[in-house]
């Protein structure tokens, strides 16, 4: 399972949920493109995701009562109200990726969850809900880091995935 939670990333209305019928000064500069799913459009800058739209679920709307980013993230990825305390407390609810890994077959040698390029922080504090919680350390994410300011990229010789 891949969960993309892009903090500070491109806005939803300019990526997953373009509004071509909106006024030009509201809808942004990017153009919508058709996807493999009839009637669904994505931004022109994510054409491979558009090609595979029938294999993904895009959540375009959600609501919660939390007004702060850290606790709101916890609620969004665990479905529970954020507790007070440490981010890696084993009493916390597991992340969505940890839960899926626990209850679905994961091929041998596959990590239960991957976090890249970093864990999420709010005002310098590590945000809860990104770990295995009460499922245990085996369900904590494996970190894939890149040097600060460097683009993502696999080392030379790394096998690539053919998305076509």
Domain boundaries, the chain: 12-55, 69-143
pTM: 0.58
Give the 3-state secondary structure of residue 115: strand
- Determine phi and psi for 20, rounding to 5 degrees: -60, -20
**Residue 164 banded pLDDT, cuts 50, 70, 90:** very low
Give the 3-state secondary structure of residue 137: helix
Give the 3-state secondary structure of residue 55: helix
Residue 41 token pair: 């459009």
pLDDT of 25: 78
Minimal CA–CA distance to 37: which of 51, 47, 48?
A: 51
Half-sphere exposure at residue 151, Cβ-oriented, CA atoms within 13 angstroms: 1
Cβ-based neighbours of 120, under 8 Å, separated by 6 or more = 5, 7, 73, 126, 127, 130
Apex CA 124: angle with CA 8 and CA 99, to 5°? 70
* Each residue's pLDDT tens digit, 12-71: 777 888 888 888 777 778 889 999 999 999 999 999 989 999 998 887 777 778 777 778
* Each residue's pLDDT tens digit, 75-119: 877 788 888 778 778 888 888 878 888 888 777 877 767 776 667
Q: Which residues pair with 41 in a beta bridge?
A: 34
**Residue 157 banded pLDDT, cuts 50, 70, 90:** low
């Amino acid at each position: 399972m891949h969960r993309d939670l892009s903090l500070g990333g491109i806005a939803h209305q300019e990526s997953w949920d373009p509004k071509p019928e909106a006024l030009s000064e509201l809808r942004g500069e990017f153009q919508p493109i058709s996807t493999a799913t009839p009637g669904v459009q994505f931004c022109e800058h994510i054409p491979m995701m558009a090609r595979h739209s029938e294999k993904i679920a895009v959540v375009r709307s959600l609501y919660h009562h939390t007004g702060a980013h850290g606790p709101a993230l916890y609620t969004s990825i665990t479905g529970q109200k954020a507790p007070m305390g440490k981010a890696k407390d084993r009493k916390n609810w597991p992340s969505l990726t940890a839960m899926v890994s626990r209850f679905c077959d994961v091929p041998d040698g596959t990590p239960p969850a991957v976090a890249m390029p970093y864990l999420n922080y709010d005002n310098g504090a590590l945000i809860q809900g990104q770990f295995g919680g009460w499922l245990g350390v085996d369900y904590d994410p494996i970190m894939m880091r890149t040097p600060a300011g460097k683009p993502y990229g696999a080392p030379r010789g790394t096998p690539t995935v053919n998305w076509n």
